[in-house]
Amino acid sequence: MPSPDTAYTPPADGQPWREVAPEAAGLEPNRLAAAVRVAAEAETPWPVDLEAKIRGGFFEPPPFNEILGPCAPRGAPNGLLLKGGAVVARWGDTRRVDMTFSVAKSYLSLLTGIALGDRLIADLDEPVGARVRDGGFEGRNAGVTWRHLLTQTSEWEGVLFGKSDEIDRNRVLGIDNTGRPPRPTHRDLKAPGAFWEYNDVRVNRLALSLLRVFRQPLPEVFAERLMYPIGASETWRWEGYRNASVEVDGRPMLSVPGGGHWGGGVFIHAEDQARIGLLAARDGVWGGRRLLPEGWMAASRQPCPLEPGYGFLWWLNTGRTKYPSASPESFFALGTGGNLTWIDPANDLVGVLRWTDPARADDVIGGVMEAQRAAA
């Protein structure tokens, strides 16, 4: 992998992004073309009307599925592949802005790194309640730390913006990270840090806590500290729930969710997602400028002891269990319905797949890796 200080950095949005022929990037063209065909033609089984999908009880039955944030119809499959920061493949409309669901969780991880670097958080093992005093970290929640929230091991208990943490208890992940019992079921909570569970309410509690320490809406922080410096477009947005406004320093601020489970979340196109993926691949350095604290991405990729396939709100490929065809160093920002950012620092690859059938994602990754092996 080239040094992030010397590697090619894409220019700001609106200027030409370097494109390299597959063979010049060390990828056999025919095998790469076959992988791209799968990505473009194996469309997600999700309907175009995403709001209807949520209202229909995909995540959970009424009344737990009440939509609180904006939704929008999805587009067709699209995406791109970067090698050395340059574009080696592109398919579909990579400028279409769409919902991205739980990919936003990984963006919250980036923001947590910035908060730590700014000393707004002293230590990841510090109880959140030491700095966030809004009633959310009292009683049994007093022992919840920032690390617990980042690794989905907090066992935080409560109701946030009308959604109880119990909605996401006993979640059983499937290939698309959405399988669950037909209705919320009770599970006795364990001590913070003693149980791993993918839980959107608790991730939203992290987002609110970050808002409290930044004392600024997270979309503003995300734009100022990351999206502007990496030259992203101005078309992305991060939407909140209609009932998620809180007061900070006498100013109403909207807390944003880490997904689109109940609407809202990050609406973005594939090219902007590729920029974020490239930043993560290069340890938070963009064009020689450090945007994330040194070592943050390495820490984010450490396996959670209770779930080795998970880091700080990033999916990992420990033991190649997530995507067998990807390198074990690969990590992923993953959103339901077919939204995947694949980051492989060992091979200097970043791939973004939008609305490709999740069951075929490993086929796409495998095709890219075959193209690299064949060209070696």
Give a three-class secondary structure readout of 92-145: CCCCCCEECCCHHHHHHHHHHHHHHHCCCCCCCCCEHHHCCCCCCCCHHHHHCE
Same domain, 171 and 208: yes
The phi and psi torsions of 227 (rounded to 5 degrees) equal -70, -40
- 3-state percent helix, strand, coil for the chain, nearest multiple of 5: 30, 20, 50
Domain boundary among 199, 229, 254: 254
What radius of gyration do the chain's Cα atoms show? 20
Same domain, 200 and 216: yes
Same domain, 28 and 148: no
The dihedral region occupied by 169, where left means phi > 0, alpha psi between -120 and 50, and beta the remainder, is beta
Q: Which residue has the tokens 């063979």?
A: 23
Q: Is 8 part of a structural domain of the chain? A: no
Same domain, 141 and 213: yes
The phi and psi torsions of 354 (rounded to 5 degrees) equal -115, 125
Q: Is 115 part of a structural domain of the chain? A: yes
Domain boundary among 204, 223, 254: 254
pLDDT on residue 177: 47
Domain boundary among 219, 254, 289: 254
**What's the pTM?**
0.96
Same domain, 138 and 217: yes
pLDDT on residue 319: 97
Same domain, 243 and 276: no
Same domain, 352 and 232: no
Same domain, 125 and 58: no
Nearest CA to 42 out of 372, 370, 363, 371 is that of 363
Same domain, 93 and 109: no
Same domain, 278 and 204: no
The CA-based dihedral angle spanning residues 233, 238, 239, 241, taken in that order and rounded to the nearest 10 degrees: 180
Whichever domain contains 71, its CATH number is 3.40.710
Same domain, 125 and 205: yes
Q: Is 321 exposed, middle or buried (0-12, 13-18, 19+ CB in 10 A)?
A: exposed
Overall domain count for the chain: 2
Same domain, 54 and 147: no
Q: What domain range includes position 346?
A: 22-98+269-375
Whichever domain contains 223, its CATH number is 3.40.710.10
pLDDT on residue 165: 94
Instruction: Tell me the pLDDT of the chain (376 aa) as tens digits.
Output: 555 555 899 999 999 999 999 999 999 999 999 999 999 999 999 999 999 999 988 888 889 999 999 999 999 999 999 999 999 999 999 999 999 999 999 999 999 999 999 999 999 999 999 999 999 999 999 999 999 999 999 999 999 999 999 998 877 654 454 555 555 577 899 999 999 999 999 999 999 999 999 999 999 999 999 999 999 999 999 999 999 999 999 999 999 999 999 999 999 999 999 999 999 999 999 999 999 999 999 999 999 999 999 999 999 999 999 999 999 999 999 999 999 999 999 999 999 999 999 999 999 999 999 999 999 8
Q: Is 209 part of a structural domain of the chain? A: yes
Q: Is 5 part of a structural domain of the chain? A: no
Q: Is 6 part of a structural domain of the chain? A: no
- The secondary structure element, H or E, covering residue 273 is helix 270-281
Q: Is 244 part of a structural domain of the chain? A: yes
Q: Is 349 part of a structural domain of the chain? A: yes
Q: Is 259 part of a structural domain of the chain? A: no
